[in-house]
Amino acid sequence: MIVQNLSSQKPFTTKDGSTIRSILDRSNAPVRNQSLAEARVPAGGATERHYHKLAEEIYFILEGEGSMEIDGAAREIGAGDAILIPPGAWHRITAGHRADGLVFLCCCAPPYAHEDTYFA
């Protein structure tokens, strides 16, 4: 049985500019088909617009509010929202101006890899 606690994971910055703490992925468990991380975007900040050739992502917003853009369509998002990002879809998440920014879970299948992040 593999159990990882978020508090024991060190944060790092992904290629898109978000700060994440891996909860379960290839770096800390025998994960084969997915990864789960907590991501943070500071108030007023945004990730760089990008896409993943292989990974399908699901974002689940835990705290904060902001907007999500996928392939040119934008929508306001907030705590409790789940967002599907298909492989190949250009996307960017922007935090509103609340003091704490956005906190969300990011599930990727296959697991997140820097090499699968592409920019214009």
Reported as a single tens digit per residue, the pLDDT across 46-63 is: 999 999 999 999 999 999
Contact 89, 21 (CB under 8 A): no
pLDDT reported for residue 52? 97
Position 77 scores a pLDDT of 98
Task: Supply 9's token pair.
Answer: 């994971």
Which band of pLDDT confidence, cut at 50, 70 and 90, is reported for residue 96? very high
| Residue with more model confidence, 49 or 15 | 49
pLDDT at 98: 80
**What pLDDT does residue 48 have?**
96
DSSP assignment string, 50-119: BB-SS-EEEEEEEE-EEEEEETTEEEEEETT-EEEE-TT--EEEEE-SSTT-EEEEEEEES---GGG-B-
Mean pLDDT confidence for 62-67: 97
| pTM more than 0.75 | yes
> According to the CATH classification, is domain 12-116 in 2.60.120.10?
yes
More confident residue, 14 or 59: 59
